[in-house]
Amino acid sequence: MKRKLAKLYRVLLVLALIPALLILSLRLGLPQLSRFSDEISAYLSSTLGVQLRIGALHASLEQLQIRLHLEDLTLLSQDASAPMVSVKAERLDLTLDLLRSLQYRVPVFRMAELQQADVLWQQQQGRWLPDMGASSGEGAPSLLALLSYQPSLVLRNVHLGLQPEGGELQLISPINAMFEAAAGEYQISGSARMPRIGEDAYAVFALHALSLDFDDLLAGHYRFFLQSDALGPEVLNLGVLPLEMDALNLSAHVWGEWQASRLTELQGDFSITPLALSGDRWPEIDHLRSRFVLLPVTDGQYQLQLRGIQAATQGVLLSLPELITEFHLATGQQWVMPEFVRLSELDLAGVHHWVDQLDILPEAAESVLARLAPAGQVSDLLIAWQQPEDWLSFILEARLDEVAVSAWEDAPEASGISGQLQATLTEGTILLESAAFTLNFPELFGSGWQYSEASGQVSWQVTGEALRLNSGLLSLSNEAIHAKGRFGLYRPFDPEEQIEFSLLIGITDTDALQTEFYTPPRELGETLYDWLKSAIRAGQVNQAGLMIHAGLRPQAHHLPVSVQLFLDAEQAEFAFHPDWPVVQDGQIFLHLRDTELRIDIASGSILNSDINSGWVYLPRDSQQLHVAAVLQGDASDFSLLLQESALGGYLGSGFDDWQLRGDTQTRLGLRVPVDNPDAIDVQVSSRLQGSQLHLQDRDLRFNDISGQVVYTTQAGLRSTGLRGRLYGEAIEADISTQGERTRVALQGMIATEHLDHLTGLSLGDRFDGKSQVDLALTLCAEQGSCPRLELSSNLLGTAIDLPAGLGKSADQQRLLNVDLYPEQQRLHFSYDTLLQGVMDLSQPLRGQLLFGSGVAVLPQSSHLELRGSVPQFSVQGRVLRFADDSWQAHLDHLHWRSSEAEASTVPTPPVTESPVDVSGYPQLSLKIDDLRVGERALGQWSLDMKPQRQHVSYESISGQLQGFTVTGHAHWQAGQHPSTDLTLNLNGADLAEVLEHWGQGRPIETQALSATAQLTWRGAPWQFGVSSLDGVFSFQADQGRIIESGSGANLLRVFGLLNLNTLSRRLRLDFSDLLKRGLVFDQLKADYELNKGVATTRDALIMTGPSANMEITGQVDLNTQQLDKTIQVSVPLGSNLTLGAVLLGAPQVAGALFIFDRIMGDRIEKMTRIAYTLKGDWDDPQLNLLNPAGGR
| CA–CA gap between residue 834 and residue 360 (Å, rounded) | 107
Where b means 16+ CB within 10 Å and e means fewer, 997-1006 reads ebebbbbbbb
Interaxial angle between packed helices 139-148 and 37-48, expressed in degrees from 0 to 180 and rounded to the nearest 10: 100
Closest CA to 807 of 788, 842, 834: 834
Q: Which residues does 487 contact at the CB level (< 8 Å), separation at least 6?
A: 412, 441, 469, 470, 471, 474, 501, 502, 503, 504
What CA–CA distance (Å, rounded) separates 881 from 956? Answer: 20
Model pLDDT, residue 66: 79
Q: pLDDT tens-digit profile of 892-932?
A: 999 987 644 444 444 445 555 556 777 778 899 999 999 98
Given a contact cutoff of 8 angstroms between Cβ atoms, the answer to whether 983 and 1013 are in contact is yes
941 has a pLDDT exceeding 90? yes
Structural domain contains residue 989: yes
> What pLDDT, on a 0 to 100 scale, did the predictor assign at position 721?
86
**Mean pLDDT across the stretch 79-94?**
83
In this predicted model, which residue has the larger pLDDT, 29 or 1139? 29
Q: Which residue has the higher pLDDT, 694 or 1066?
A: 694
Q: Given pLDDT bands bounded at 50, 70 and 90, which one contains residue 1157? A: very low
Assess if residue 1010 is contained within a domain: yes
Residue 1058 has pLDDT above 60, yes or no: no
Mean pLDDT of 1113-1142: 71
pLDDT at residue 1146, rounded to an integer: 42
Angle of the 348-358 helix axis to the 363-372 helix axis, nearest 10: 150
Which pLDDT band, with edges at 50, 70 and 90, does 643 fall under?
A: low
User: Using omega within 30 degrees of 0 as the cis cutoff, is the peptide bond preceding 673 cis?
Assistant: no
Range from 37-46, 115-124, 781-790, 1088-1097 that averages highest in pLDDT = 1088-1097
Contacts of 824 (CB under 8 A, 6+ apart): 784, 785
Instruction: Single out the residue of 524, 535, 412 nearest to residue 474, CA to CA.
Output: 412
Please report whether residue 1041 resides in a domain: yes
Average the pLDDT over 637-647 and give the result: 64
Instruction: Choose between 1009 and 650: higher pLDDT.
Output: 1009
Residue 447: strand, helix, or coil: coil
With contact defined as beta carbons under 8 Å apart, do 419 and 431 qualify?
yes
Each residue's pLDDT tens digit, 437-458: 888 877 777 677 888 899 999 9
pLDDT-based confidence at residue 782 (cuts at 50, 70, 90): low
Confidence of residue 642 (pLDDT cuts 50, 70, 90): low
Q: Is residue 1141 part of a domain?
A: yes
The Cα–Cα gap between 1179 and 566 comes to 106
In this prediction, residues 801-813 reach a mean pLDDT of: 83
State yes or no: pLDDT of 1163 exceeds 70: no
* 866 pLDDT tier (thresholds 50, 70, 90): very high
Per-residue confidence at 1071, pLDDT binned at 50, 70, 90? Answer: very low
985 vs 964, 1022, 1037, CA distance in Å?
10, 20, 14
**Residues 202, 206, 210, CA angle at the centre, nearest 5°?**
165
Secondary structure tally for the chain: helices H, strands E: 17, 64
For the ranges 266-275, 627-636, 886-895, the maximum mean pLDDT occurs at 886-895
H helices present in 359-404, as ranges? 363-372
Q: Which of 274, 350, 349 is nearest to 318 (CA)?
A: 350
How many Å apart are CA 142 and CA 1122, to the nearest integer? Answer: 182
Phi, psi of 535 (to 5 degrees): -75, -40
**End-to-end alpha-carbon separation of the chain, Å?**
233
Number of domains in the chain: 1
Q: In whole angstroms, give the CA distance from residue 958 to residue 969.
A: 9
> What pLDDT does 1010 receive?
94
Q: Are strands 700-712 and 716-726 parallel, antiparallel or unpaired?
A: antiparallel
Q: pLDDT at residue 1045 above 60?
A: no
Q: What are phi and psi of 47, to 5 degrees?
A: -75, -45
Three-point CA angle 829, 831, 836, nearest 5°:
50
**Per-residue pLDDT averaged across 611-618, rounded?**
87
Residue 808: helix, strand or coil by DSSP?
strand
Q: What percent of the chain has pLDDT over 70?
A: 81
Cβ–Cβ under 8 Å, residues 190 and 202: no
Residue 374 lies in a domain: no
Three-state SS at 217: helix
From the CA atom positions of the chain, what is the Rg in Å? 69
Using alpha carbons, select from 685, 735, 745 the residue that is nearest to residue 710: 685
Fill in the amino acid letter for 363: E
Beta strands in 788-922 (DSSP E): 788-793, 798-800, 816-821, 826-831, 835-840, 847-851, 864-869, 873-881, 886-896
Residue 389 within any structural domain of the chain:
no
DSSP 96-140: E-HHHHHHHTS--EEEEEEEEEEEEEE-BTTBSS--TTT---SHH
* Residue 576 CA from chain centroid, whole number: 25
Q: Has residue 975 got a pLDDT over 90?
A: no
CA–CA gap between residue 1005 and residue 1043 (Å, rounded): 8
Q: 359-377 pLDDT, tens per residue?
A: 666 676 677 777 778 888 8
Task: Specify the pLDDT at position 1140.
Answer: 42
> What torsion do the CA atoms of 1061, 1066, 1068, 1069 make, to the nearest 10 degrees?
-50
pLDDT band at 876 (very low <50, low <70, confident <90, very high): very high
Cβ contacts of 367-373, under 8 Å, gap ≥ 24: 368/408, 368/462, 368/467, 371/406, 371/407, 371/408, 371/409, 372/405, 372/406, 372/408, 372/411, 373/349, 373/405, 373/406
918: containing domain:
905-1185
**DSSP 8-class letter at 494:** S
> 1158: Cβ–Cβ under 8 A, 6 or more apart, which residues?
none
Beta strands in 357-393 (DSSP E): 375-385
Query: What average pLDDT is seen over the chain?
Result: 79
Residue 292 reports pLDDT greater than 80 = yes
Rounded CA-CA distance 1185/1165 in Å is: 24
Q: Is 6 helix (H, G, I), strand (E, B) or coil?
A: helix
The sign of the CA dihedral 1012, 1014, 1015, 1019 is positive
217 versus 1017: the higher-pLDDT residue is 1017
Element housing 26 (H / E)? helix 2-29
β-pair type (170-182, 185-193): antiparallel
Which residues, in sequence order, are bridge partners of residue 894?
875, 931
Tens of pLDDT, residues 980-1039: 999 999 999 988 888 888 877 888 889 999 999 999 999 888 788 888 899 999 999 999
Cα(192)–Cα(172) distance, rounded to whole angstroms?
7
295 occurs within a structural domain: no
Kind and range of the H or E run holding 266: strand 262-277
Rounded distance between C-alpha atoms, residue 279 and residue 247, angstroms: 12
Which of 523-537, 572-586, 650-664, 962-976 shows the lowest per-residue confidence on average (mean pLDDT)? 650-664
Residue 405 · residue 439 · CB < 8 Å: no
Residues in contact with 22: Cβ distance below 8 Å, sequence separation at least 6, in sequence order = none
Supply the DSSP symbol for 916. Answer: P
Residue 1111 has pLDDT above 60, yes or no: yes
**DSSP label at 464?**
S
| CA atoms of 94 and 70, how far apart (whole Å) | 8
Is the backbone of residue 1006 left (phi > 0), alpha (psi -120 to 50) or beta?
Answer: beta
Q: Which of 33-42, 264-273, 1132-1141 has the lowest mean pLDDT?
A: 1132-1141
- The span from the CA of 854 to the CA of 116, in Å, is 138
Confidence band, pLDDT 50/70/90 cuts, at residue 584: confident
Question: Residue 1152 — very low, low, confident or very high, per pLDDT cuts 50/70/90?
Answer: very low
Q: How confident is the model over 668-672, as a mean pLDDT?
A: 85
Q: What is the pLDDT of residue 907?
A: 46
Query: What pLDDT, on the 0 to 100 scale, is given for residue 984?
Result: 94
Given a cut of 80, is residue 1170 above it in pLDDT?
A: no
